[in-house]
Amino acid sequence: MIIAVDGPTASGKGTIAKALAAHFGLPHLDTGLLYRAVGRQVFLNGGNPDDPADALAACTFPESLLDDPELRTEETGGYASRVSVHPAVRAALLARQQAFANQPGGAVLDGRDIATVIAPHADAKLFVTASVSARALRRWMEMKGLGKDVERAEIEADLAARDERDRNRPEAPLRQAEGAALLDTSNLTREMAVATAIALVEKQVAARG
């Protein structure tokens, strides 16, 4: 069984995807982490995330970089959004993501183009979203927990800019795939969001027979 979970930053899609993987006994891949690693590698290389050549060169990042806590910072998230607009970067990471999705037994993947590009044949598709203000509050609390001193208004502005960039990029823009169930987590607790997601997945799988 393949489960595709898409949505903007801080919508709760990662938390939901992990919970779905645990519930259904499937491996999980946070595809956004791959783009964050590319963005981080561009920074480490002293490159420009808006330069296609610099971004492509960073796709050869070492596996160990995926464990770098800096990948979770707002700065790296911004870099990830900027490198992800380059078609060559998306092509370089495409096979890696599709191989994970199509492994025997299936998998859960979350990102921005899982149901539209990576696994349009997924057995269940969710589009997880939330208001910008709700997402900014979550990310602000997360950053505070990591000891990062950031302004909530700054995070909200960054999320809005990132949404705009992700929705309007020419290559694999962020959008709700055909047949994907919409899950708005703005006013849901983690437990409520996960329970709703499980129910939506089970409903889709049952409908497919």
What pLDDT, on a 0 to 100 scale, did the predictor assign at position 200? 98
What pLDDT, on a 0 to 100 scale, did the predictor assign at position 74? 83
Summarize pLDDT for 91-140 with one digit per residue, the tens: 999 988 999 999 999 999 999 999 999 999 999 999 999 999 999 999 99
Domain that holds residue 102: 2-207
| CATH code of the domain in which 22 resides | 3.40.50.300
> Which residue type, as a one-letter code, is found at position 91?
A
- What is d(CA 82, CA 190) in angstroms, rounded to the nearest whole number? 29
Q: How many structural domains does the chain have?
A: 1
- CB-based contact 116:7 (threshold 8 Å): no
- What is d(CA 54, CA 79) in angstroms, rounded to the nearest whole number? 12
What pLDDT, on a 0 to 100 scale, did the predictor assign at position 148? 83
Cβ neighbours of residue 61 closer than 8 Å, sequence gap 6 or more: 37, 38, 40, 41
What pLDDT, on a 0 to 100 scale, did the predictor assign at position 172? 82
What pLDDT, on a 0 to 100 scale, did the predictor assign at position 165? 87
- What is d(CA 57, CA 55) in angstroms, rounded to the nearest whole number? 5
How confident is the chain (209 residues) per 10-residue block, as mean pLDDT? Answer: 95 96 97 95 97 96 92 90 92 92 97 95 97 94 86 93 88 91 97 98 93
Cβ neighbours of residue 104 closer than 8 Å, sequence gap 6 or more: none
Q: Which of 195, 167, 177, 185 is nearest to 126 (CA)?
A: 177
Q: Which of 130, 128, 127, 129 is nearest to 180 (CA)?
A: 127
Predicted TM-score (pTM) of this structure: 0.86
